[in-house]
Structure 1
Amino acid sequence: MSRSILITGANGALGLAIAEFFLTKEENCRVFLGVRERRERAQELATRFPGRADLITLEITSPDAWKAALSEIESQAAPVSVLVNNAGFHEDALLANMAQEQWSRVLDANLNAVFHGCQAVLPGMMRGRQGRIVNIASLSAISSPAGQTNYAAAKAGVIGLTQSLSKESARMGITVNAVCPGYIEGGLPADWTSEHLKALKMQLPMRRFARPEEVAAAVFFLASPDASYITGSTLKIDGGLL
């Protein structure tokens, strides 16, 4: 049976890698690339997989946008059976200087959006008595650095949401897991200098950043039938940093 897979933030390095991993490893799946803007890279991927990958406009902070996106997906394919909540961003500042808008924007995009997405797909998954939700959290949720009170709180909330929802949905064949990636090639701020990147690598036992496809492989596994007894888990993928 062909699965419909929805990946948010599918215009960034990790989202694109997750999408391509599904398209390459699961030949009969249909992947929907949830994007709001900067659609070029997602469109290029969809062009490479005609009829199997489609862009779908999705403002992740809007419940109505989620409903519209799922309605569009169901008009083209099977209901969503795999949701990867990957979209998000950080807007760092020391808490003493953080504007209310900085706090709210980061919580809305990184935590509230996961709530909206999970709530939107659950009815269809419950009807089908099966489903996979993989939430992309962050190492900041486990070991929170200074200057990221908003982002760390949001991602810690994602882990808490994951664990609680996994208990609510397990009896219906729906698994909910979280992944905490470390530094990822292609997903680092463009203004970081080569000296800064070199210093970061020296902190890592593997002395390198993760390749996006290495994180994608873990997401693919958690969404596979082989992971049917894994739920409520948080997997860190950090090269041994923590």
Structure 2
Amino acid sequence: MDKETKYAFVTGASGEIGQAICIALAKAGWNLYLHYYQNRQAVEDIVPKLQAENIDVILIQADFDDFSSLKEIEKQVFQVDAFIHAAGHSHYALFQDTTDLDMTKLWNVHMYMPMRLIQIFIPKLMKSQQGRIVFISSIWGEIGASMEVVYSTVKGAQIAFCKALSQEVGLSGITVNAVTPGVVKTKMMDQFSLEEKEILRQEIPLKRFAKPEEIAETVEFLTSKKASYITGEVLRLNGGWLM
């Protein structure tokens, strides 16, 4: 492993938060593995911006509902110094209307696949001088949300996982943290009406939604040497909505 070169594996790099994270890490000198599922165009669109920072960019397609993709990912990854899990999707419905398929997909994407990937990457992270693991969780993982019961559950599981794993790998110098955004201005909010979004905005002390770039800047900090003594933490980015 080249100790002067650092590689970050970012899941969900085609999403708005994932893209912002990739750009922030590229500016900080990280070489990148960009994971995406279906939206290859969204990833390709940011590649020129990333390569302008003189970094390596490797695209990795994988369906997190297909466990056979683990072997394919392992073949393509040779060095990992940071793992950032930004992949995910919400599911808005009454709990009793949530199907087994919905629950399985939420679990696989938010928890099972990232856990399995981390199992694969831990030996590589241990060789790194600055092993970092960051999960993009959610405010709902802390307080729960009506109509998003299963989503809240898997987001809460991410937080528990980060806290437990941080104790296990701390001796190896690997830090593990979760970021819990509140409302972020992304396409995920399009499912809500303007009136519903305005009600949410009024509940937030800062009176605005977070920008994807603000989530990305926090991730960049957590993967930097400045955050080498921060582990097992939950960093809230919610504009004062939850204190």
SS at match of 2:122: helix
Give yes or no for contact 2:84–2:134 (8 Å, CA) kept in 1: yes
- 1:44 aligns with 45
Q: State the partner residue of 2:113.
A: 113
Structure 1's 129 and 52: CA in aligned 2 closer, same or farther, altered over 3 A? closer
Q: Which residue in 1 is equivalent to 2:180?
A: 180
Distance (Å, rounded) in 1 between the aligned partners of 2:170 and 2:122 = 12
Q: Distance in 1 between matches of 2:191 and 2:163?
A: 35
Corresponding residue for residue 73 of structure 1: 77
Matches within 5 A, 1:186-205: 186-205=186-205
In the TM superposition, what is the alpha-carbon distance from 1:188 to its structure 2 partner? 2.9
CA positional deviation for 1:187: 4.0
Letter in 2 for 1:155: K
- 1:69: how far off? 2.0
The answer on whether the counterparts of 1:59 and 1:66 sit within 8 Å (CA) in structure 2 is no
Deviation at 1:59, TM superposition (A): 2.5
1:72-123 residue CA offsets vs partner (Å, 9 max, x unmatched): 132xxxx011110110112222222222222222112111122122212112
Structure 1 range deviating more: 48-57 or 101-110: 48-57
Give SS of 2:10's match.
Answer: strand
1:2 maps to a residue whose letter is T
Aligned to 1:19: 22
Q: Report the Cα distance in structure 2 between the residues aligned to 1:140 and 1:205, rounded to whole angstroms.
A: 17
Q: Unmatched 5+ residue regions in structure 2?
A: none
Gaps of 5+ in 1: none
C-alpha spacing 1:232/1:62, structure 2 compared with 1 (3 Å): farther
Q: Which residue of 2 aligns with 1:34?
A: 35
What's the offset of the Cα at 1:153?
1.0
The partner residue of 2:63 within 38, 59, 65 is: 59
- How many residues are matched? 236
> Which shows bigger deviation, 95-104 or 144-153?
95-104
Measure the CA separation in 2 of the matches of 1:165 and 1:129.
18
- Relative distance call for 1:191 and 1:137 in structure 2 (3 A) is closer
Runs of 4+ in 1 over 6 A off after TM superposition: none
- Aligned residue for 1:97? 97
Aligned-residue offset at 1:129: 5.8
Identity of paired residues, percent?
A: 28
Write the distance in 2 (CA, Å) between the matches of 1:238 and 1:187: 17
Normalised by the size of structure 2, how large is the TM-score? Answer: 0.91
Query: In the aligned structure 2, how far is the partner of 1:89 from the partner of 1:239?
Result: 22
**Aligned residue for 1:8?**
11
The 1-side partners of 2:50 and 2:102 are apart by 37
Q: Look up the SS of the partner of 1:185 in the other structure.
A: coil
